[in-house]
Amino acid sequence: MSDNFKAVVVNQDGENFTREVKSINKDFLKHGDVLVKVDYSGLNYKDALILKNGARLVKEFPHIPGIDFSGTVVESQNNNFKEGDEIILTGWRVGEIYYGGYSQYAKVKGDFLVKKPKALTSKQVMVLGTAGLTALQCAFAVKAREELLLGDKVENVIVTGASGGVGSIAVMILNKFGYNVTAVSSKKDNNDYLKSLGAKNIINTSDLNKEGRPLDKGLYDGAVDTVGGNVLANVLSHIKETGIVAACGNALDIKLNTTVMPFIIRGVKLWGINSVNTSTKRREFLWNEASNLIDFDLLNKSIKEINLEELLDVYPKMLKGQTSGRYIINLNK
């Protein structure tokens, strides 16, 4: 590896918060036992918050953000990884309390890594990234009605926040499972794209973002919710007997104003999804399933590939809701 390489470094001195692309060397990297040459990283909403002001997630400065990345091992003191292994990292609070992927080289704990399946490229796994891993978890949680609960086959499902990273990928996966997907989105411009992903019906978010009834007509066998609040409360009221709702986000509200009725009258399951601390065994399963469930040619239409310098221009637009699709950072650019 070269002596010096590029990284985004954020720093705080009193009230002054800075972010810049800097030239650093290996000695700057202070965590972990595996050194990785990073190929790609992603821009997630949490990344944008950290780039803005640390978001109270970063405890020590200076710091390198980037909560997910893919790349190749160049040095390892971990018995599970050797030079040349292609890896994926998502979660484990990397990019928050540990240095992250906005760097041409990253050093992390080997326990945080999984080996990339041969069926996926380094770019493809970051086209999915944290959002994709979360969507896979949510979709398999809904499918668990058939396998874990030995219930009736899932037929009709609903996905909220369907225009977002998690929601759009969940639409694709659930359609691949053979389910009839209703997508909930506030962005009418994305209707054609959601239909191309497999959505059979589309509902505007405003139709569900209101106070609902404790129980309403049972319409769906399962749901993926990324927004919380009144939307989730209304979704719960429309879930059929023994249905499963996978909840993974709070884009609208962290509060949930509902009753016990869906849970005790219909046996609805509310399954919280946290991809940050997902076990290695489950991560390996999900990444290996991805190549069978994801149409990357279709997803690539909504992917923008940028470099570290462009990242600093794009993240404020994400925070203002002025971006769509997924941005991935090419560390070789």
**DSSP letter, residue 321:** T
- Token pair of 327, please? 């941005």
> What average pLDDT does range 139-155 have in this prediction?
91
Q: What angle do CA 153, 155, 161 make, to 5 degrees?
A: 125
Tens digits of residue pLDDT in 67-84:
999 999 999 999 999 999
CA dist 126 and 129 (Å) reads 4
> Residue 269: helix, strand or coil by DSSP?
strand
Residue 282 has pLDDT above 90, yes or no: yes
Identical fold, 4-116+297-330 and 130-272: no
pLDDT of residue 12: 94
Confidence of residue 3 (pLDDT cuts 50, 70, 90): confident
Contacts of 116 by beta carbon, 8 Å cutoff, 6+ apart: 70, 86, 87, 88, 122, 125, 287
Cβ atoms of 135 and 299 closer than 8 Å: no
Residue 305 has pLDDT above 90, yes or no: yes
pLDDT of residue 204: 95
pLDDT above 70 coverage of the chain, percent = 99
Confidence of residue 88 (pLDDT cuts 50, 70, 90): very high
Residue 301 has pLDDT above 90, yes or no: no
Q: How far apart are the first and last CA of the chain?
A: 16
CA dist 248 and 223 (Å) reads 11
Tens digits of residue pLDDT in 167-191:
999 999 999 999 999 999 988 888 9
pLDDT of residue 302: 84
CATH number for 130-272 (one of 3.40.50.300, 3.65.10.10, 1.10.3110.10, 3.40.50.720): it is: 3.40.50.720
> Residue 174: helix, strand or coil by DSSP?
helix
- Token pair of 299, please? 């997803």
Q: What angle do CA 198, 199, 201 make, to 5 degrees?
A: 150
CA dist 283 and 269 (Å) reads 22
Cα–Cα nearest to 11, from 48, 37, 50? 50
Across the chain, mean pLDDT equals 94
Residue 136 has pLDDT above 90, yes or no: yes
14-18, 234-238, 263-267, 269-273: range with lowest mean pLDDT: 14-18
One DSSP character per residue, 94-131 reads: BTTTB--SSBSEEEE-GGG-EEPPTTS-HHHHHHHHHH
Q: Domain 4-116+297-330 - what CATH class?
A: alpha beta
Cβ neighbours, 10 Å, residue 95: 29
Cα–Cα nearest to 71, from 83, 82, 84, 87? 87
The distance from CA 241 to its chain's CA centroid, rounded to whole angstroms, is 29
Residue 148 has pLDDT above 90, yes or no: no
148-152, 175-179, 255-259: range with lowest mean pLDDT: 148-152
- Token pair of 301, please? 């239409």
Domain range summary for the chain, segments of one domain joined by +:
4-116+297-330, 130-272
Cα–Cα nearest to 105, from 205, 1, 177? 1
> What average pLDDT does range 300-320 have in this prediction?
93
